[in-house]
Structure 1
Amino acid sequence: MRKLIFGMNVTLDGYIAAIGDDIGWSGPPSDELFQWWLDQERASDLSLYGRKLWETMSSYWPTGDQQPDATPAEIEFARNWRDTPKVVFSSTIDEVDWNTRLVTGDAVAEITRLKAEDGGPMGIGGATLAGAAMRAGLIDEYALATYPVLVGAGTPFFTALDSWVNLNLVETRTFPGGVVLNRYETRR
């Protein structure tokens, strides 16, 4: 059975985007934090995206390694991003590219099916998609890179749940700029 990991940059007050889908509060990550995210991406066998995150990622990373100021880590991230199989869940887009499959049907049923397969970890991103997986009890690990900023409102990392989810802290790490990473595994 595959492990499903939900990880994102988040504000101290719990948002992955401020009002208007503004993620400018995070600025460019430190080299160390970017490397941590790269290591997570390399360890993932499959990436699951909601439409908005897919549009953000696919607008830059297919050619991110060709940017004149790309760092070695950014070059590696772009190449890894293109090579890693991806599934996009959306009923509003018609096609995807870069080693990606589009799912327009029941996201929870498809994620459940993918989790039951043999293979390495899967990463999930996008508030709506991750929220559906969270409510269905499918998330095995949460990774929050918390930035020392309050935005007051926006898109929350956590969705409303029908019942408690107990977690075990498995890693805490501080990065430059006061970013604190906490990783939790779901206690089953």
Structure 2
Amino acid sequence: MTTIFGNMAVSVDGFITGRDPRPGHGLGDGGAVLHEWYWGGDEPSEVVPQFRLSKASRDFIDPLAGRVGAVIAGRTTFEDAGGWGGGSPHPTAPLVVVSHRPAPPEATPEQRFTTSIEEAVATARTLAGDLDVSLMGGGGALTAALTAGLIDEIIVHQVPVLLGAGRPLFQELPAHVRLDIVQVVPAPDVTHLHYRVQR
């Protein structure tokens, strides 16, 4: 059965960007520090060729990235990332974007646009086949998926920095969400935290 998991790098104070994120400056002021660990090691990823990770991070990231058959992102994340140049943040998985606005003219056939998180998850499940679905971007899409009971796991890559402001990982949730700890992996410049959502 397909697993839907949230997957984001985050500061200790809960932000996925620095201040003033916007198209062309998607990580905001100072937010690039959240992703430095992707390129700060000596071990090339076997799944995402541009990553050069520490051994501890590669041993965590490669099996995770190998599970992904489709990616879901919100429209804000899509625009801040420049539409990933018409592709996806994953080298082989198609992208599904949750948006109440029509797809932009530069969108490609590899990018599907849906109007609700429920439709996005259904589309991504079909595209993923026997693999899993990674939901990235914070705030709206992740919170909506949690609220709808569609998230099975949450994976955060916590970077030891306090950004002070930016886009938060979560918006306000309607109730407590209890998590089970699956794995905690300390690595240089990041701690990988893997949780399962209690049902």
Distance 1:59 1:106, change over 3 A: closer
Q: TM-score, normalised by structure 2?
A: 0.73
Q: TM-score, normalised by structure 1?
A: 0.76
Q: Mind listing any 5+ residue stretches in structure 1 that lack a counterpart?
A: 63-77
What percentage of aligned pairs have identical amino acids?
23
Paired position in structure 2 for 1:15:
15
Cα distance in 1, alignment partners of residues 133 and 90 from structure 2: 13
Q: 1:130, CA displacement in angstroms?
A: 1.2
Q: RCO (CA 8 Å, sep 6+): is it higher in 1 or 2? A: 1
1:81-116: CA deviation from partner (whole Å, max 9, x where unpaired): 34312211221542422622122x222344256559
Paired position in structure 2 for 1:171:
183
Cα distance in 1, alignment partners of residues 93 and 181 from structure 2: 28
Q: Which of the residues 127, 151, 175 maps onto 2:163?
A: 151
Cα distance in 1, alignment partners of residues 3 and 134 from structure 2: 8
Q: 1:48, CA displacement in angstroms?
A: 0.7
Cα distance in 1, alignment partners of residues 173 and 61 from structure 2: 27
Q: Mind listing any 5+ residue stretches in structure 2 that lack a counterpart?
A: 22-27, 41-52
Q: 1:34, CA displacement in angstroms?
A: 6.0
Paired position in structure 1 for 2:111:
100
Aligned positions, number:
170
* 1:28-177 paired onto structure 2 within 5 Å: 28-29=36-37, 30=40, 31-32=53-54, 33=57, 36-55=60-79, 56=81, 58-59=83-84, 81-90=90-99, 91=101, 93-95=103-105, 96-97=107-108, 99-103=110-114, 105-111=115-121, 114=124, 119-127=130-138, 128-177=140-189
Q: Which has the higher helix share?
A: 1
Distance 1:20 1:34, change over 3 A: farther
